A = this chain, B = another copy of it.
Amino acid sequence: MKNFFHLVGSSAFADLFREFSELGTETIPLSAALNRYAAQEIVAPTALPPFSRSTMDGYAVRAEDTDNTHQHPPRMLTVTNEIRMGYPGHNIILRAGEAVRIWTGGELPDNADAVIMIEDCRSLDDGKIEIIRTVAPGENIIRAGEDYQRGEFVFGKGTKLCPRYMGVLAGLGITEANVFKRPEVGIISSGDELVEPADSILTGQIRDINSTTLAALVTEAGGIPVPLGIVADNFALLRDTCRAAVNRPVDLLLVSGGSSAGKKDFTQAVFKELDQSDLHERGAAVRPDKPLLIARHENCVLFGLPGHAASAMAVFYLFIRPLLMRFSGANQDGFQRIFVQAGERISATAGLEEYVRVRLIPRKDAQLPLAIPVYGKAGFLRPLLEADGLLVLKAECHVLNQGDMAEVILFS
């Protein structure tokens, strides 16, 4: 049984997301800002480095004093001073024929224009050094502001504060970060057959998988999961739980399990009652037979997801994660894409953008990984583990032959 996971209309969703804007901002300690998104452009508050520095252990010199090292007698310089780490060096004046001992990171004397590495000198007894190698002006030094001028653009609004961006902020003396708030995401699993994972199951019952998976996916995408538990297939119960969530308010409400033909009615009816826009009229189609439901209540977006865990996860990566990125103020769409080669022939429905679950086989010698479609009946857990991502089949691409290159949206 061929059961590709086909989605239709993701670009329509991208258009729809433009109706939403990022959440508010907050200022938090830099140490707590890992992987948050910058709410403002960062410019250098001071020049970096703040003073002209040596990048090596050696001697600060005037480069011209190191010319002609092959002549006789050899070039000698008199060491007049030492610049200790953490102490100023600019008040030292270097005269012709003089050198000053300096360490990596130390401030240069005012008129030094190069540093000669310790390995390129020979230390003599009488406080002199012999120059073995010529240095050019600017060699082994960084001038004040050469890295960043004061007021210069460092990085933009919406940048994810990865470790290296945090390091740069620390280096600039910025110890509080102005970031976008994290979206709060309510998570409901609906279905009379569902029980908590810790419960023992009776015949006909099944453990709730989506609450766990979706909470972890939300966390990973930078959101705050708000678990709202299992709700039976009952209109009033589902409506009241959803209403409490949107009044809390959460920024996004995920209701999984309500999209099979039988249960869809509840979720659709609840969304219709809560919706204040026409969003619920414009859901994207997901095949086979998995309509997505979407609605809006004030600033909260309500999503109806398939109940099958593997389908719910695919919908999360394709639609929910990009929306979370938008709420979070991120300057990226949240897709982690890689290139692959089709490991076998993969055919699509003409004229529709489709996504095929694939596993990836890494190869040696700088060859792209091979993508192999993962078959599996709807409702199987196995594809959750076996598939590494979703291969993108563009609308204009009817078939991918073995060896053709394609793009895959990676699962984490």
Q: Please give the residue numbers on chain A whose beta carbons come within 8 Å of chain B beta carbons, in ascending order.
A: 1, 30-31, 34-35, 48-51, 53, 55-57, 83-90, 103-107, 117-118, 138-139, 142, 146-148, 154-155, 162-175, 191-194, 197-217, 219-220, 233, 260-263, 289, 307-309, 313, 338-339, 366, 368, 377-382, 384-385, 405-407, 411-412
Contact = CB atoms under 8 A, between A and B. Distances in A.
B51 A385 contact: no
A86 B205 CA distance: 5
A34 B220 contact: yes
B209 A85 contact: no
Contacts of A163: 213-214, 216-217, 220, 313, 412
B167 A213 contact: yes
B207 A90 contact: no
Number of copies: 2
Contacts of A49: 206, 379
A138 to B, nearest CB: 8
A149 to B, nearest CB: 11
Nearest to A161: B216
A307 to B, nearest CB: 7
A87 B193 CA distance: 7
Nearest to A394: B366
A105 B307 contact: yes
Interface majority SS on A: helix, strand, loop or mixed? loop
A276 to B, nearest CB: 30
Contacts of A205: 86
A412 B161 CA distance: 10
19 contacts: A34-B220, A55-B377, A85-B233, A87-B204, A88-B204, A89-B203, A89-B204, A104-B262, A105-B260, A146-B377, A147-B379, A147-B380, A147-B381, A167-B384, A170-B207, A170-B209, A170-B213, A171-B381, A366-B405
A136 B397 CA distance: 31
Contacts of A215: 31
B204 A175 contact: no
Among A103, A212, A213, residue most surrounded by chain B Cβ atoms (within 10 Å): A212
**Which 7 residue pairs of A and B lie closest in terms of their CB atoms, listed nearest first?**
A167-B213, A163-B216, A85-B192, A170-B212, A104-B260, A170-B197, A88-B203
A130 to B, nearest CB: 18
A72 to B, nearest CB: 29
A57 B171 contact: no
B313 A339 contact: no
A50 B201 contact: yes
